[in-house]
Amino acid sequence: MEKLALLYEYQQADAELEAYEKKLKNTATRKQLIKLQSYLKKQQEALRDMENKALVEQNGLSEVEAQYDRMIELLNKKHKDIGEYEKMDPEELDYNVVKDLVHEYETTYENIVKQKRRAVIVQKNAEQTAAKLKDILVHVSQAQKDFATLKKKHEEELRAGAEELDKLRKAAELAASKVDAELLKKYKRIKKNTPMPVTLLQGGRCMGCNMELPSRDLANIKKTDTIIECENCGRILYLQ
């Protein structure tokens, strides 16, 4: 039973260490840090998407403007051609040629109007994207400043708790050094799946899961140094 007593003492020291580590890791400051870190990650992704969108829209606007300029140039040429026909003697004019020329002129003009409307829409979208991008940058900049402040505060919290943490760690290491190596190995194996691997045996029941033990196991625990694990939860049973 001495082996189990030492293991049980180690578990208490181990639990105190873990509880303090958890306390340091779960301060309000650290929770805010994690939340802010997640926010910054999402905003950075949004920034990349917005920047790509702005680039696509800017390229689209440049293409629209280029097409608009080409249509204006074409319209001027058609206008010039019509002017040349106006100087000719009516008897020399080919009605179908003139008709086609006028139709081409009107069609080109209509396309210019459509292209102008398209340019206005693309320009408006580009301006909206630029405004959103600017707004995100402002928020990200502030979030980065807040993150730096919180990080510094959390580091101060960790430094403040370092002495107590070191004390608890050394106590756990000392307690572990007194435990049988094979028993400690078994403890760590159980702990991977079950918290508090060692549990008390009271009234013939496992205090870990409240399962009543078979009489043969109770007899073994009371009379020998046999290590008994609960058949239900797998914890090592300890009878004080």
CATH code at 86?
Answer: 1.10.287.1490
First to last CA, the chain: 8
What is the CB neighbour count within 10 angstroms for residue 238?
20
Shared domain check, 39 and 152: yes
Shared domain check, 212 and 171: no
Shared domain check, 51 and 98: yes
pTM given for the model: 0.61
Domain boundary among 177, 196, 214: 177
Confidence of residue 224 (pLDDT cuts 50, 70, 90): low
Answer for the pair 122, 64: CB distance below 8 angstroms, yes or no: yes
Question: Mean of the pLDDT values across residues 139-156?
Answer: 93
Tokens 């105190």 map to which residue? 16
Lowest mean pLDDT among 105-109, 133-137, 236-240: 105-109
- Rounded CA-CA distance 5/201 in Å is 13
Residue 110: per-residue pLDDT? 82
Shared domain check, 192 and 154: no
**Domain annotation covers residue 9:** no
Which residue range is the domain that position 85 belongs to? 16-177
Shared domain check, 49 and 135: yes
Shared domain check, 159 and 201: no
Shared domain check, 57 and 133: yes
- State the number of CA atoms in the 13 A half-sphere of 71 facing the CB: 19
Residue 224 vs residue 151, higher pLDDT: 151
Shared domain check, 208 and 167: no
What is the CB neighbour count within 10 angstroms for residue 133?
16
Residue 86: per-residue pLDDT? 63
Domain boundary among 155, 177, 199: 177
Lowest mean pLDDT among 45-49, 84-88, 196-200, 227-231: 84-88
Question: Mean of the pLDDT values across residues 17-32?
Answer: 93
Answer for the pair 47, 140: CB distance below 8 angstroms, yes or no: yes
**Domain annotation covers residue 4:** no
Number of domains present in the structure of the chain:
2
Checking if the pLDDT of 80 tops 60, the result is: yes
Residue 111 vs residue 12, higher pLDDT: 12
Contacts of 21 (CB under 8 A, 6+ apart): 165
Domain boundary among 133, 156, 177: 177
Shared domain check, 217 and 117: no
**Domain annotation covers residue 8:** no
**Domain annotation covers residue 95:** yes
- Rounded CA-CA distance 129/134 in Å is 9
Structure tokens at 203: 């009234």
Lowest mean pLDDT among 2-16, 22-36, 107-121, 194-208: 107-121
Q: Measured over all CA atoms, what is the biggest interatomic distance in the chain, rounded to whole angstroms?
A: 132
Q: Which of 108, 107, 128 is nearest to 61 (CA)?
A: 128
Residue 27: per-residue pLDDT? 92
